[in-house]
Amino acid sequence: MRRELTSEALFLARLVAEMLPQEPEALGLLALMLHAEARRRARRNERGEYVALGSQDSSLWDAQMIREAEALLVRASELGAIGRYQLEAAVQSAHVARCRTRRANWAAVLEIYDALLAITGSPVVAVNRALAVAEVRGAEAGLAVLPDPGTDARLAEYQPYWAARAELLARAGAVADARHAYDVAIGLERDPAIRSFLEERRAAVAE
């Protein structure tokens, strides 16, 4: 069912991009969706277990979709109006480049997140930006800019926030706090494969 919905969504995004070829955000949205779908086969291994981006087998990615997404981003950039979808697609493009080349480009990723946060003010973007900050400046710097659920109630029920917090706390050596954050993330996660992945991360912290 999810694959059928994804195919339908991609069809509609292509249709919009064809109808609005001079609208950079239409191109950016399609590029973002293509980048996400290109990595679908690599997100689970043969046992159905969740595989994080940095550990994925890039040979399983759909190279044609990635090339199409990159071409769309180039076209969008030539139209001279930056928007949210273009920036989100640019983040995905940077992640693909890093995983393929094994060359750190976190400073560039952070610059994109800075721009994206300025445009959207989104707490989701802020969480992802904090992870990028940690890669560039260290875990404690990432924790310092991680948004606070006390000021945004939406984060209290947002599993990726707690997973990100747990990861940063673990890197900073705050074992007890990291384990607690993983407990919350595990409790909020409905996907059994991702829950198992988080449980493994928690166990690694305990060790």
Residues 14-62 pLDDT 10s = 999 999 999 999 999 999 999 999 999 999 999 999 999 999 999 999 9
Residue 194 falls within a domain, yes or no? no
The whole-model pTM stands at: 0.92
Beta bridge partners of 44: 50
Residue 173 falls within a domain, yes or no? no
The whole domain housing 58 covers 1-101
3-state secondary structure of 33: helix
Q: Positive or negative, the Cα torsion across 161, 31, 4, 42? A: negative
Residue 125 falls within a domain, yes or no? no
Residue 72 falls within a domain, yes or no? yes
Is the model's pLDDT at 118 over the cut of 90? yes
Mean pLDDT of 146-166: 94
pLDDT of residue 1: 65
Q: In the chain, how many domains are there?
A: 1
Residue 4 falls within a domain, yes or no? yes
Is residue 43 a contact partner of residue 62, using CB atoms and an 8 Å limit? no
Residue 111 falls within a domain, yes or no? no
Residue 180 falls within a domain, yes or no? no
CA 89 – CA 80 distance, rounded (Å): 16
**Position of tokens 């997140």?**
113
Residue 161 falls within a domain, yes or no? no
